[in-house]
Amino acid sequence: MAFGTKNILIVYSSGYGTTREVSEKIYDILNLEPLFNITLKSIHEPFDVNKYDYFIIGSSIRADQLLANVRDFLSYNNNILRYKKIALFVVCLAANTLHGQHQVENTVYRQLAEKYPQLKIIDLAAFGGKIDFNKLNPVMQDLIKHVFRKTGIKANGSIDTRDWDQITRWAVSLKEKITNGNIPTVLVPIGVEQNEKN
């Protein structure tokens, strides 16, 4: 392995494949960097947490939270992950506007900072999500209609609010950040006024 190679794991949790597709896009962009030894895994697949320097963790959002298996992963591996660098992205309907993205990023940031204060989070992003009503039973469809109302989405069925340009920009900037080693270890909440941070 070349000197300076960085071992990176993209690990995702995805209910219906939306976050998996976003993870694949991010993988394709980061994989262009010759000094990255990059692996893409579902959270359900086995992997050795010790092997990687950087973790890019993707999760969709349910009931305003990261998926339970991502929360379990963070808790279970907290003692190892605290020595790694973590970038996190979430995919959800609430992030369908810039304002929504900032709100979700701040909510997730606060949840992480409270529960895992030692984690070195180098980046955090929220991306718009997708819902395919054909994959949902009527109870779930009703639940999603509630999420539509809550998030101000004017839809009554399937919708895809992912912005692939935004996802690409984030992946490219993360690639540059990791390449340059220009990484603050404390995350500054996005879109939060200075006096809100304390």
Interface residues toward ligand FMN, by CB under 6 A:
14-19, 60-64, 91-94, 129-131, 140, 143-144, 147, 151
Nearer residue to ligand FMN within complex by CB, 140 or 188: 140
* Closer residue to ligand FMN in complex, CB, 125/178: 125
Nearest approach, Cβ of residue 138 and ligand FMN (Å): 13
Which residue number, 82 or 146, has a Cβ lying nearer to ligand FMN? 146
Spatial contact of 162 and 91, defined as CB atoms under 8 Å apart: yes
Least gap, CB of 174 to ligand FMN (angstroms): 19
Give one DSSP letter per residue of the chain, joined into a string. Answer: --TT-EEEEEEEE-SSSHHHHHHHHHHHHHTT-TTEEEEEEETTS---GGG-SEEEEEEEEETTEE-HHHHHHHHHTHHHHTTSEEEEEEEEGGGGSHHHHHHHHHHHHHHHHHH-TT-EEEEEEEEE-EE-GGGS-HHHHHHHHHHHHHHT---SS-EE---HHHHHHHHHHHHHHHHHT---SSPPPTT--GGG--
- Between 32 and 140, whose beta carbon lies closer to ligand FMN? 140
Residue 44 or 62 having the CB closest to ligand FMN: 62
What totals of helices (H) and strands (E) does the chain contain, helices first? 6, 8
Nearer to ligand FMN, 126 or 178 (CB): 126
- Least distance from C-beta 143 to ligand FMN, angstroms? 5
Q: Residue 130 Cβ, how far from ligand FMN at the closest point, in Å? A: 5
Classify residue 62 by its DSSP letter. E
* Least distance (Å) between residue 170 CB and ligand FMN: 16
Determine the residue with CB nearest ligand FMN. 129
Find the shortest distance in angstroms from Cβ 78 to ligand FMN: 24
